[in-house]
Amino acid sequence: TDRYAVIGNPIGFTKSPFIHGTFAKVTGQDLSYEAIEGPIGGFAARVDQFRAEGAKGLNITAPFKLDAFAYANELSESARRAGAANCLKFEGDRVIAENFDGIGLLRDITLNLGVKVAGRRVLMLGAGGAARGALLPFLRQDPSELVLVNRMLSKAVALAEEFAGRGPLIVSGYAELADLAEGYDVVINATSASLRGEMPPLPGNVFRGAELAYELAYGKGLTPFLQAARAEGVAKLADGVGMLVEQAAEAFSWWRGVRPSTAQVIAELTVPLS
């Protein structure tokens, strides 16, 4: 039996063992998947121990994505771009880092929610790790425009410089957004505001005419962001549960060479947003 785990702190509420356990069952893979509460400041030692026990791979959640990136000795392009790892594969001395958060978000939006990104206008809120990881997968879809907005403008500007030449990426502060807004098709909240019940300082008109408002946080119900979108008449509202399951499916495929279907697991984890 090959061993895998998710590591985070806290880890009590993780859905990953359920998700990977279900994937293993439906694909007939012989593996175990546990949850590890990593000690703050002791990530590397704990992972050393897990590897010494013969582990094959690890998912990483807050606050260890940067530690996992530093721990790896091989980086995928998506991990390098994100500057963070959410998945590791162990092969002897090799520790290979991946980051599937961005592709998971994109797959949830395009495949599960049926919302096109190609040729559309996308508004992304936030310039932290979550937004950074999503930029390249989104730009590769050829949106007509991707507007990145952040309170601290310098962080958004730095990202735009890093991704220069990769696509139509534009940076804005929240206040200037009111002038820029000529209708977005997809509005994505990649800030951590909802974790504290806060709302990014968005002008109300950004939701007008949008097809989808997507909240990366999950299990928080109708966050202030989703409430504002609903009040403006956005038809499709989603939280990050589909993204969570899609990034897990990417990890599972990478580790095992078999792609599990995701619809059933997403349905089981979805809590109605109202």
Q: Which residues are annotated as a binding site?
A: 14-16, 61, 77, 86, 101, 126-130, 216, 218, 240, 247
| Binding residue for ligand ATR, selected from 192, 205, 227, 270, defined by CB under 6 A | 192
The residue count for binding ligand ATR (CB under 6 A) is 14
In this chain, which of 8, 38, 104, 129 binds ligand ATR, going by CB under 6 A?
Answer: 129
Q: Is 175 in the site for ligand ATR (CB under 6 A)?
A: no
Amino acid at 76: S
What gap in Å lies between CA 177 and CA 147, rounded to an integer? 9
Binds ligand ATR by CB under 6 A, chosen from 59, 99, 191, 247: 191
Separation between Cα atoms, residue 271 and residue 49, nearest integer Å: 36
Check if 65 is active-site. yes
> For the chain, how are helix, strand and coil distributed in percent, rounded to 5?
40, 20, 40
Binding site residue list for NADP(+): 77, 126-130, 216, 240
Kindly provide the b/e burial profile for residues 72-104, where b requires at least 16 CB atoms within 10 angstroms of the residue's own CB. beebbebbebbebbbbbbbeeeebbbbbbbbbb
- Please identify which of the residues 25, 56, 65, 116 carries the catalytic annotation: 65
Window contacting ligand ATR (CB under 6 A); options: 95-103, 108-116, 144-152, 258-266: 144-152
The two beta strands, 212-215 and 236-238, are parallel
Residue nearest to ligand ATR (CB): 128
Q: Does 200 bind ligand ATR (CB under 6 A)?
A: yes
Our CB check for ligand ATR shows the closer of 55 and 131 to be 131
Q: How far is CA 173 from CA 7, 136, 194, 208, in A?
A: 35, 21, 19, 19
Q: Which segments are annotated as binding site for shikimate?
A: 14-16, 61, 86, 101, 218, 247
Encoding tokens for residue 44? 């590397």
- The Cα angle at residue 81 between residues 115 and 91, in degrees rounded to 5: 105
* 258 neighbors 252 (Cβ within 8 angstroms): yes
57 or 133: CB nearest ligand ATR: 133
Cβ proximity to ligand ATR: between 191 and 223 the closer is 191
Catalytic sites, residue numbers: 65
Q: What residues line the site for ligand ATR (CB under 6 A)? A: 126-130, 150-152, 155, 191-193, 198, 200
